Structure 1
Amino acid sequence: MASPSSALNKSSMVQQGRIRVLKEGSTPSGRDAGPVVYWMFRDQRLRDNWALIHAVDQANKANVPVAIAFNLFDQFLGAKARQLGFMLRGLRLLHRDLEQTLQIPFFLFQGEAIETIPNFLREYGASLLVTDFSPLREVQKWKEEICKRVGKKVSLHEVDAHNIVPTWVASEKLEYSARTIRGAEVPEIKWCESGENAAVEILMGSKNGFLTKRLKNYSTDRNNPLKPGALSGLSPYLHFGQISAQRCALEAKKIQKNCPQAVDVFLEELIVRRELADNFCFYQPRYNSLQGAWEWARKTLMDHASDKREHIYTKEQLENAQTADPLWNASQLEMVHYGKMHGFMRMYWAKKILEWTRGPEEALAISIYLNDKYEIDGRDPNGYVGCMWSICGVHDQGWQERQIFGKIRYMNYAGCKRKFDVDGYIAYVKRLVTETKKRKAESSLGKEAKELRV
């Protein structure tokens, strides 16, 4: 039987810059050393997983077992069946691969991590806990509490396997810019297959892989909502850690000479923009609040908070796409029924929420609520920073002052019409919604028929 380390990587040493020691336990030696536990949550994969590699490496050095623990939360930032179903399907495949490839035990818990993880460490007799990195404050608080609850001998290492350049290495400060399953209120989606192998197929597949078939149109068509195939399609897999951003970048660099402009734009989005979002959430604890915006943005938004609005919509009206703007309604319906809104439309969508609500605080809260509820890659630094960019000017600059927006960058219907076929996009979403509803109805009828036969 191959050892876990040889199956993972012949050279298993992890760059020390990826590892942060959150708690230094006593250092047992010899037969007193306990097993290593890898608490997996953000990076749900075997390949290119530096946290898993570090856990196995530490276990091999101490000649002790290693195990993986995964905690299912009763609720996490409003995640629904859509997001949790995608994750669970991926975990099922991951569990199978762990057993077949590495022979590493996989333990699944449900409840509060601050209770389940320390309890498991005690029962397992572990002396080292390795965890994924996340900049979100809820996760950081869990780790702080876990450090308090584990025994004195237990060490806790945090490994950034999510970013190409670890957040704390890329910058030591907040950067200004770039320069379980509960009720099925939000249905699952069928267009996006879960798991590591599916992610690799999206990236490099011979039929419709991004780097192999679709990359050439990325730089020119990525902002056209009528050409969703021009986008990489990797965001769900990056969000759930089913593929490494580092692997995506390395594979893209291999073919840079074939499509230099497209690769440059892709790497800008994959590395700079994506990791800037982690930087913001890590160093700015109020990353989803008006208080997390820069002073100039807070001032201009509050100066115009009482400006008269042509329309004011409630959260329920917005969620149900009941506005006077057919383009905005289409973008909301695309997100609700498809689980993913085109990136260009996300900007327009969020800015109109600012225009149609009673103030910037309400606008930000509603945009984050809808994004987290319906986007397959919601509850993510990219989502929070996307809303903060659109509404609060984060990583942007001041623009010409106007009503409601103040100096925040403005977008409108006419501007969208100049960039793409607005009527075509609305018709595209209408067909998408009709097809989705039809499949859902057929699925429900099939389920009912099966129950009747039983």
Structure 2
Amino acid sequence: MLIDRTRIRKLQDGQSEGEYVLYWMQASQRVEYNLALEFALDLANNHEQPLIVCFCIFPGFPEANLRSYYFMLQGLQEASNQLQNRKIRFVCSIGSPDKIVPAIAEKASFVVFDRGYTSTVQEWRSRVVRKLRAPVFVVEDNVVVPVSVASHKEEYSATTIRKKLMNQLSRYVKEIPQIETEVNALDISVKVEEVKVDDFKPLLKKLALDHSVSPTPVFHGGSKRANALLEEFIKNKLEQYHQWRNDPSKECQSSLSPYIHFGQVSPVFIALEVMKYPGDGTDAFIEELIVRRELAINFVHYNRNYDSIEALPKWAIFTLNEHISDKRPYLYPLKDLESAVTHDRYWNAAQTELLITGKMHNYMRMYWGKKIIEWTESPQSAFDTMIYLNNKYELDGRDPNSYAGVLWCFGKHDRPWKERPIFGKVRYMNSSGLERKFDIDSYVEHVQSTKH
């Protein structure tokens, strides 16, 4: 097997006398470049056993809504068909993983997990492992460099982690061939109630979801669409990415973050494809895909307070608290911010883009967050507002990158700047900067056009 051993960790020993190998798919919702899947299939082939892949739809997932589940199920529909083509049994069931996975694993000789990093996913994994008797492995394949290989501690900024990651790329950015399935698993029965994802709209009605957030008309879930976006990005945008990535009017971003968040495309595969075209654009993209993203994962992995303002560096907490009583130029209630009805047309455009499409331009996401700090009564209120709006509307919400990105607005992974009201020494952004750097009116017009 060509998977680097540092990606694989044995969580427990156990009895390997079952009838099949079980892979619990959670973070890596794909068939292509899924290292956990290939590892599980290799185990199955070596023991002349079939492979079952299970996915648990948990209706009580924090902040779940129709938009995120619709996108996720589009991807699972595709993955289900691809697994069937490879003669691998796919089992999808509604319920808590700590009930479904152990039930299927009763007859498993080995169990394989993929790896997530947020506290919800970590807690699921711990509860499931305690109920299993078979040997359990976890495969880390949603990062380019395994998090503990990159660093054994929380890193302060991109500057401190960059070299550690870049020095490892030749080891981890490698092609992984698909393994042939040796034992047909399609006829295996399991003792859980299954749901079909080939027509998932009736399934959505069974789930207790927030239906106020509509599916996005812009993004279609699944690996095929992710691959098409990647191909389009490389062909039409990569060469200019270093120049235009921050310009909201240029539409030069890859739009892959929702697909990466749901595990519908591998960051290793993206890196492989992009690195075929060396240049300044590629260097800038690798900085975002690997350095910035894996700095965020390092943060979530090593800092238990990743979803709290307490995760800020001491200087940021101190300076924000020093200015907590400063007069705000505007104070907006949540409903006005959520509805994009402020005095700032640029901010309103960014929030409108989020409401309609499920994704905000990355540069506008920074401006959006900075203004919420300026327009709410306290840093804590601003943080709560950002997390609420981000996790409710962004397709890549509830992600390590999202938590790190929100906290960046308050000084995380940044340095002190010139002191000013409200922000103290935290970096400030204003509308005149947008006007000076970009054709920002063009961005506003583009967002307005998406309404129709």
Fold conserved (TM > 0.5)?
A: yes
- Structure 1 segments unaligned to the other structure (5+ residues): 1-11, 436-454
Could you tell me which of 120, 123, 137 is aligned with 2:119?
137
The one-letter amino acid paired with 1:20 is R
CA contact (8 A) 2:367 2:430 kept: yes
Deviations 1:385-429 (A, max 9, x none): 1001012x1111111111111111110111111111233322222
Q: Provide TM-score, normalisation by structure 2.
A: 0.87
Q: Hey, what does 1:219 align to over in structure 2?
A: 242
Superposed displacement of residue 213, structure 1: 2.3
Residue aligned with 1:149, SS: coil
Superposed displacement of residue 360, structure 1: 1.1
How many Å separate the matches in 2 of 1:174 and 1:104?
39
Superposed displacement of residue 191, structure 1: 2.1
How many Å separate the matches in 1 of 2:37 and 2:400?
22
Could you tell me which of 383, 388, 394 is aligned with 1:375?
394
Whether 1:16 aligns to 2:20 is no
Superposed displacement of residue 41, structure 1: 1.4
CA contact (8 A) 1:51 1:130 kept: yes
How many Å separate the matches in 2 of 1:14 and 1:33?
24
Deviations 1:126-152 (A, max 9, x none): 1322111111011111111112222xx
**Residues 56-71 of structure 1: matches in 2 within 5 Å?**
56-71=41-56
Q: Hey, what does 2:434 align to over in structure 1?
A: 416
**Residues 5-404 of structure 1: matches in 2 within 5 Å?**
12-22=1-11, 24-28=12-16, 32-100=17-85, 102-122=86-106, 125-150=107-132, 153-179=133-159, 180=207, 182-204=209-231, 209-228=232-251, 230-256=252-278, 260-391=279-410, 393-404=411-422
Superposed displacement of residue 34, structure 1: 4.4
Superposed displacement of residue 189, structure 1: 1.6
Deviations 1:317-366 (A, max 9, x none): 21011212111111111100121111000000011111111211111111
- Structure 2 segments unaligned to the other structure (5+ residues): 160-206
Superposed displacement of residue 155, structure 1: 2.3
Q: Provide TM-score, normalisation by structure 1.
A: 0.86
Q: Which has the higher helix share?
A: 1
Displaced runs of 4 or more, over 6 A = none
Q: Hey, what does 1:406 align to over in structure 2?
A: 424
Deviations 1:38-87 (A, max 9, x none): 11111111111111111111222222222101011113231321111111
Residue aligned with 1:223, SS: coil
How many Å separate the matches in 1 of 2:87 and 2:50?
11
Superposed displacement of residue 186, structure 1: 0.9
How many Å separate the matches in 1 of 2:56 and 2:329?
46
The one-letter amino acid paired with 1:409 is R
CA contact (8 A) 2:245 2:253 kept: yes
How many Å separate the matches in 1 of 2:330 and 2:219?
36
RMSD in angstroms over aligned alpha carbons?
1.5
How many Å separate the matches in 2 of 1:283 and 1:35?
35
Superposed displacement of residue 33, structure 1: 4.0
Q: Hey, what does 2:168 align to over in structure 1?
A: none
How many Å separate the matches in 1 of 2:426 and 2:327?
17
The one-letter amino acid paired with 1:112 is S
Residue aligned with 1:130, SS: strand
CA contact (8 A) 2:309 2:380 kept: yes
Superposed displacement of residue 190, structure 1: 2.5
How many Å separate the matches in 2 of 1:280 and 1:128?
31
Residue aligned with 2:158, SS: coil
Q: CA separation of 1:34/1:401 partners in 2, compared to 1, >3 Å: closer, same or farther?
A: farther
Residue aligned with 1:254, SS: coil
How many Å separate the matches in 2 of 1:36 and 1:190?
38
Superposed displacement of residue 110, structure 1: 1.1
CA contact (8 A) 2:33 2:269 kept: yes
Superposed displacement of residue 370, structure 1: 0.5
CA contact (8 A) 2:219 2:357 kept: no
Q: Which moved more, 1:364-373 or 1:422-431?
A: 422-431
